Amino acid sequence: MKKKLAVVALGGNALLRGNQIGTIDEQEENTTQTLENLVFLINEGYDLVITHGNGPQVGNILMRNDAGEQMYGIAQMPVDICVADSQGGIGYMIERMFRNVLIHHGISKNVVCLVTQVVVDRNDPAFNDPQKRIGKIYSREEADNLSAKRGWIFSEEVKAEGGFRRVVPSPLPVDILNHDIIGDLARQGNIVIAAGGGGVPVYIDEKNDVKPAEAVIDKDRASSLLASMIGAEEFYILTDVPYIYINYKKPDQEIKEFLDYADTLKYLNEGHFARGSMAPKIEACLSFLSSGGKMAVITEAFKLADKKYGSKITMEYEK
């Protein structure tokens, strides 16, 4: 019997909860709790690819960039290098924590982390409309100086009156470099950590060279593309809510545990899912299903193993 391959995207409070400051102890504890929830998939015969977010971590790296330059004259690193740094650090943490979880459960498996480059289209409209906020909050004077010095683009920060944050493009992923290797390793029974933080953003120039892009890629979209390219049967997004809801946080809020493609698309088009949070996850799930995936699941990071939680999306309604 052919084993199923699942891609599991760790996000939300899977690595870091909103009320925490982000110490390594906090992140390791959260990661371990999340990975404990994946053991049942291994016991049920699934091969696994793990992806993850990097929002708080790459933001901290960018702020260390600023502090290093201002205090010690250390050269700033571009966004692609910062994303790669976060991939390596978070991937190492997930790999080590997962090895420990497997040992405690008496499971013998290799765990490997691959720093992954994700290709974007240099002509993507997002490059002309940067929206993704990154890094620290600056004053108007600081933002103006950096804009003149480096060509950075800034947007007023709604959470801090008079503050500005750098914005960069968030283009759609179009290819995952080494996706065949990722799929082969996973199908051979290895647990693979890949495409962290949406992947290191790169593009292919007119000479067919791989070039860095000053951008960030949505990790759920990149994870969905990876799942499709390696032929995964199932795609899981672990976040900070146990279900998909319509009329979220309204008196008529309704849990949607089982959904088909058509109804999910209808709810998306009706505006039930916030553009900055749930909508990209829904779009990633629909893209996966339309590319041949069998089932997409969205649930809370620590409740995956409890099958009474989680919203399951299939092409046609199944219960």
pLDDT digits (tens, 9 = 90+) for 167-182: 999 999 999 999 999 9
- Does the pTM surpass 0.95? The reply is no
pLDDT for residue 318? 56
**Secondary structure element (H or E) that encloses residue 239, with its range:** strand 234-239
What span, in angstroms and rounded, lies between the C-alpha atoms of 50 and 189? 13
Buried b or exposed e, range 21-36, using 16+ CB within 10 angstroms: eeeeeebbebbbebbb
In degrees and rounded to multiples of 5, residue 147 shows phi and psi of -65, -40
Residue 212: HSE in the Cβ half-sphere, 13 Å Cα cutoff:
10
Q: Which of 116, 130, 235 is nearest to 180 (CA)?
A: 116
Q: Which of 288, 79, 300, 31 is nearest to 197 (CA)?
A: 79
pLDDT digits (tens, 9 = 90+) for 246-291: 999 899 999 999 999 999 999 999 999 988 789 999 999 999 999 9
Residue ranges of the chain that CATH labels 3.40.1160.10: 5-123+173-314
In degrees and rounded to multiples of 5, residue 292 shows phi and psi of 110, 0
From the centroid of its chain, how far is CA 218? 6
DSSP alpha helices (H): ranges in 37-155? 39-43, 55-72, 79-104, 140-150
The parts of the chain modelled with pLDDT lower than 70 are: 1, 12-13, 159-160, 317-319
**Secondary structure element (H or E) that encloses residue 179, with its range:** helix 179-187
pLDDT for residue 25? 95
Contact indicator for 139, 164 with CB cutoff of 8 Å: yes
Angle of helix 79-104 versus helix 55-72 axis, rounded to 10: 130
Q: Which of 296, 7, 3 is nearest to 179 (CA)?
A: 7
Bridge partners of residue 201, in order along the sequence: 118
What span, in angstroms and rounded, lies between the C-alpha atoms of 67 and 55? 19
In degrees and rounded to multiples of 5, residue 195 shows phi and psi of 55, 35
Q: What is the CATH number of domain 5-123+173-314?
A: 3.40.1160.10
What tokens were used for 164?
A: 């500005």
What residues contact residue 185 under an 8 Å CB cut-off, 6+ apart?
A: 112, 192
Q: Which of 303, 239, 307 is nearest to 273 (CA)?
A: 239
Contact indicator for 134, 168 with CB cutoff of 8 Å: yes
**256 backbone φψ class: left, alpha, beta (φ>0; ψ -120 to 50):** beta
Instruction: Please identify every residue annotated as catalytic.
Output: 12-13, 132, 219, 281
Handedness of CA 206, 208, 209, 213 (dihedral sign): positive
